Amino acid sequence: MDTKEILKKVRKIEIKTRRLSDHIFGGEYHSSFKGRGMTFSEVRQYQFGDDVRAIDWNVTARYNEPYVKVFEEERELTMLLMVDVSGSELFGTSNQFKKETVTEIAATLAFSATQNNDKVGLILFSDDVELFIPPKKGKSHVLRIIRELIEFKPKSKRTNIAAALKFLSSVMKKRAIVFLLSDFMDDDYEKTLKIAAKKHDLTGVRVYDKHDEEIPNLGMVPMLDSETDTVQLINTSSKSVRNSYKANAFRLQDYYINTFKRGGAGTINTRVDESYVKKLLGYFKHKGR
């Protein structure tokens, strides 16, 4: 992909996701993720309905009429996007690959954070951390993140979520809002997730294809494992083969949901042929209550 084509793709994603973050997610993001506390803003005259505990007695005595202290939320936050770039992300039987949906969701979240003047960082991982972009503010920084999501070529096709979470805990010393975007075709990450979720506001975003969960009856079919590059001849007309495939998919899904729940982290599930907008909006509204 040449530079001109990459910039064209970046611009296309920017236009689509910027509109979503500006008109839909901005307010929801702000109310869902609170700042570190309240900081003093100003003093103003008391108005009917103000909390009497907010009265500034020194100023009140000086002016002989009641004044109250006004506080505002300290909004200095950091968002970190952890994105799975393993081989299984280059799969899709609908309109687009899982990777493309993941890129759109990540861009939407990044622009929502930028709208609130928050820092945004990126971790791209396979079975190791392939790229780390430290959190910074600004539109140009977000566009760099989107460009990396589009054009980055990972060294490995395998997945190791535990290794990515371990890296997160080592590089992010302060509390951050963390979105982990993957199809979660992995297990054995519960211990590292619990450690990360205690320190950060962590949400898993599972992006999957309908055929991640079940395969149709197509007879004998050569199937490529996108993470090992091995091809096997699979008898999809066998009910036991289809059931085994489905059982393994739901085992990994249950592991993902239960692991995040036990760790005190949030989860979002969205299929590539579904509206991730509704899923994100529903999650933000629920979290902001």
Residues 51 and 147 in one domain: no
User: What is the amino acid identity at position 53?
Assistant: R
Inter-residue contact 80 to 53 (CB < 8 Å): no
pLDDT of 14 reads: 77
| Enclosing domain of residue 83 | 3-32+76-287
Backbone phi, psi, residue 175, to 5°: -60, 135
Question: Structure tokens of 176?
Answer: 């951050």
Q: Which helix (H) or strand (E) is 225 found in, with range?
A: strand 220-225
Q: Is the dihedral of CA 249, 250, 255, 261 positive or negative?
A: positive
**Based on the structure, what is the number of domains in the chain?**
2
Residues 186 and 240 in one domain: yes
How many whole angstroms separate alpha carbon 201 and alpha carbon 78?
Answer: 10
Residues 105 and 196 in one domain: yes
Inter-residue contact 168 to 123 (CB < 8 Å): yes
Residues 270 and 181 in one domain: yes
Residues 155 and 229 in one domain: yes
Residues 154 and 57 in one domain: no
Residues 141 and 63 in one domain: no
Q: Which residues of the chain have pLDDT under 70?
A: 1-4, 6-7, 22-32, 34-41, 71-75, 90-95, 224, 288-289
Query: Among 21, 52, 74, which residue terminates a domain?
Result: 74
Residues 60 and 129 in one domain: no
How many whole angstroms separate alpha carbon 144 and alpha carbon 150?
Answer: 10
DSSP state of 24: I
The pTM score is 0.80
How many whole angstroms separate alpha carbon 260 and alpha carbon 274?
Answer: 22
Residues 51 and 126 in one domain: no
Q: Which residues pair with 161 in a beta bridge?
A: none
Residues 68 and 118 in one domain: no
Residues 183 and 117 in one domain: yes
Residues 219 and 261 in one domain: yes
pLDDT of 41 reads: 61
How many whole angstroms separate alpha carbon 216 and alpha carbon 112?
Answer: 39
How many whole angstroms separate alpha carbon 156 and alpha carbon 129?
Answer: 10
Q: Is the dihedral of CA 87, 92, 96, 102 positive or negative?
A: negative
CATH code assigned at 151: 3.40.50.410
Query: Among 21, 46, 74, which residue terminates a domain?
Result: 74
pLDDT of 11 reads: 78
Q: Are strands 67-74 and 266-271 parallel, antiparallel or unpaired?
A: unpaired
